[in-house]
Chains A and B, each alone.
Chain A
Amino acid sequence: MNATGQLEHEVYIEAPQPTVFAFLTDPEKMVKWMGITSELDPREGGIYRVNIDNRHIARGTYQEVRPNDLIVFSFGWEGEGDPVPAGASRVTITLDEEPPGTKVRLVHDGLPEPAVEPHREGWTHYCARLCVAAAGGDPGPDPKRM
């Protein structure tokens, strides 16, 4: 336990665990909700690589995978000449059966946490890029085009 920040999210999905798990680990199903292409080898040491929008490429290594239950992978962004090392930040996704569906919990930890609360102004426009890309409305190579 170190003093790094962590992000947490939960979503309830009306589908059984195996269905949800498939969408998180099958490269073809992955791109139905995230990225343009993906390369996933969901076993310990396997690669996690999702091309979000040709500019942002998420990359990491699976650290632990329990079918239908748990997925842990290191997570970072690929940069030129910057292979993302195993010590990058970490994403943990847990799937809990909660009839009639599945509760998905995502924790992203290992991120630097500023002590100071920032001012919002002037920065919010940066959000557009990544959020729009993730929202995938237009997963073309130039998401800034609007």
Chain B
Amino acid sequence: MVMDAALKAMADPTRRAILSLILARERTAGEIASHFDVSRPAISQHLRVLLEAGLADVRPEGTRRLYRANAAAIAVLRRELDAFWRTSLDRLKAAVEAEVRSSRPDDNEGEDA
């Protein structure tokens, strides 16, 4: 479930930009918003999506709330995508080679038009 949310959260370029911004260090929502052309509520909404997806964390410090990307979660997503492509390419190979074999009669090897 977290995975679904994370994949969807990552589909948005503003959210990906926010993530890179808070990957290196914690920032407040205001600081984050100052880097973008979108409204402050829109940034808050993006942050909420990132938090719900487990891609970011927040902690209070005095009256401020500091946001930080969850590097481990992002790495997991990358690994997952990596496995996704590896598996997919293996399946591609199997599918293509099966078709090649089936279109080539055994007793008349390699004779196509």
Distance between A57 CB and nearest chain B CB, rounded to angstroms? 10
The contact string, 1 if C-beta is below 8 Å from chain A, for chain B 2-46, is: 111001111111001001100110000000000000000000000
Residues on A with beta carbons closer than 8 Å to the beta carbon of B78: 5, 7, 111, 113-114
Taking Cβ atoms with an 8 Å cutoff, the residues of B that contact A are 2-4, 7-13, 16, 19-20, 23-24, 69, 71-76, 78-97, 99-100
Instruction: Give 19 CB contacts A-B under 8 Å.
Output: A9-B82, A13-B97, A14-B100, A15-B96, A19-B99, A56-B7, A77-B8, A77-B11, A79-B7, A82-B8, A108-B85, A111-B78, A112-B20, A114-B74, A118-B71, A126-B2, A127-B76, A130-B7, A135-B91
Give the residues from 1 to 53 in chain A that come closer than 8 angstroms, CB to CB, to chain B: 5, 7, 9-15, 19-20, 23-24, 29, 32-34
B81 & A7 in contact (Cβ 8 Å cutoff): yes
Question: Any chain B CB within 8 A of the CB of A145?
Answer: no
Residues on A with beta carbons closer than 8 Å to the beta carbon of B83: 127, 130-131, 134
Residues on B with beta carbons closer than 8 Å to the beta carbon of A116: 71-72, 75
Q: Say what secondary structure dominates the interface of chain B.
A: helix
Number of contacts between A and B (CB, 8 Å)?
142
Q: Residue on B with the closest CB to A87?
A: B13
Question: Any chain B CB within 8 A of the CB of A129?
Answer: yes
Q: Residue on B with the closest CB to A4?
A: B20
Question: Any chain B CB within 8 A of the CB of A70?
Answer: no
Residues on A with beta carbons closer than 8 Å to the beta carbon of B75: 114, 116-118
B96 & A13 in contact (Cβ 8 Å cutoff): yes
Q: Residue on A with the closest CB to B74?
A: A114
Residue in B4, B19, B24 whose beta carbon sits within 8 Å of that of A115 in the complex: B24
Residues on B with beta carbons closer than 8 Å to the beta carbon of A118: 71-73, 75-76
